[in-house]
Structure 1
Amino acid sequence: MEPKLRVGIRFDLDRRMARLEVRGRVTEQNSRVLYVLVRRANTALPGLTVLLDLRRATVTEDAMAGLVRSSETGSLPVPVVHIKGGTLAPRQLSILAPAA
């Protein structure tokens, strides 16, 4: 795997979904970048469903637990929430898990 995160963002033509394709190793520390990108996509188009595609990444257990928690509850970590638009609706963030 790549040592740094690489993220590509694709918006569907109907603008109802953004797909963040992640490569590299996702840790609890660098996963904050993903939360910021999710928040920015949602701020650009409120109500947008964000799909976090981790199939080409490796993810630590702690990072995955945090991402799943955010997906289920719609809440983002505290430092991200204080930035304008830091909340999501539950299930507005979907995750494609990495391969086992």
Structure 2
Amino acid sequence: MNSKLNVVVRVDLDHARAQVIAKGHITVHSVNALYVVVKRANSLKEGLDVQLDVSHAHVDREALEMLHTASESNHLPQKIDPQQAPCTITVLAPRRVTSELRAQPPALIAA
């Protein structure tokens, strides 16, 4: 799995839409980088609909919950956007959600 985060932004100002496509591994730490990209895209035009496509990324469960919280509240976290500008985010769900805690390997049974 590639842990490097790769982000592409597509903007259509005529139709007030932006698409942020993220690939790689999204963790609770790297999700802040996505928020910064979304904030910059959102600042291009008032009322912009931002689609955050993480469908081709490995996303930790807690990071996905953070993204859904921002989507439901229509605001980015205050530490990213202290002004709390309205931000309409739609999150395209990932195919793979990982847990930050890896499962323990099964214990070997001595015979």
Common fold: TM-score over 0.5:
yes
User: 1:98 is matched by which residue type in structure 2?
Assistant: P
Identity %: 35
Unaligned stretches of 5+ in structure 2? 97-111
- Larger of the two Rg values belongs to structure: 2
The counterpart of 1:96, out of the listed 84, 92, 95, is 92
Q: Separation in 2 of the partners of 1:55 and 1:65? A: 15
Aligned partners of 1:7, 1:61: CA distance in 2, in Å?
19
Partners of 1:64 and 1:87 lie apart in 2 by: 21
- What is the CA deviation profile of residues 37-96 of structure 1, one whole-angstrom value per residue up to 9, with x for unaligned ones? 1111111112100000011101111100010010011121121122x5x4224xx10011
Listed as ranges, the gaps of 5+ residues in structure 1 are: none
1:46-57 superposed matches below 5 A: 46-57=46-57
Q: Distance in 2 between matches of 1:10 and 1:75?
A: 20
Counterpart for residue 26 of structure 1: 26
Deviation at 1:3, TM superposition (A): 1.4
SS at match of 2:14: coil
Name the counterpart of 1:63: 63
Distance 1:44 1:65, change over 3 A: same
- Structure 1's 32 and 88: CA in aligned 2 closer, same or farther, altered over 3 A? same
Query: 2: CA distance between counterparts of 1:74 and 1:99?
Result: 23
Indicate if the aligned counterparts of 2:13 and 2:45 stay in contact, CA closer than 8 A.
Answer: no
2:78 paired residue number? 78
Over aligned residue pairs, what C-alpha RMSD do you find? 1.5
Structure 1 segments of 4 or more deviating over 4 A? none
Q: TM-score, normalised by structure 2?
A: 0.79
Q: Give the number of the structure whose residues are more often helix, by fraction.
A: 1
Q: Pick one of 77, 84, 87 that aligns with 2:85.
A: 87
Aligned residue pair count:
96
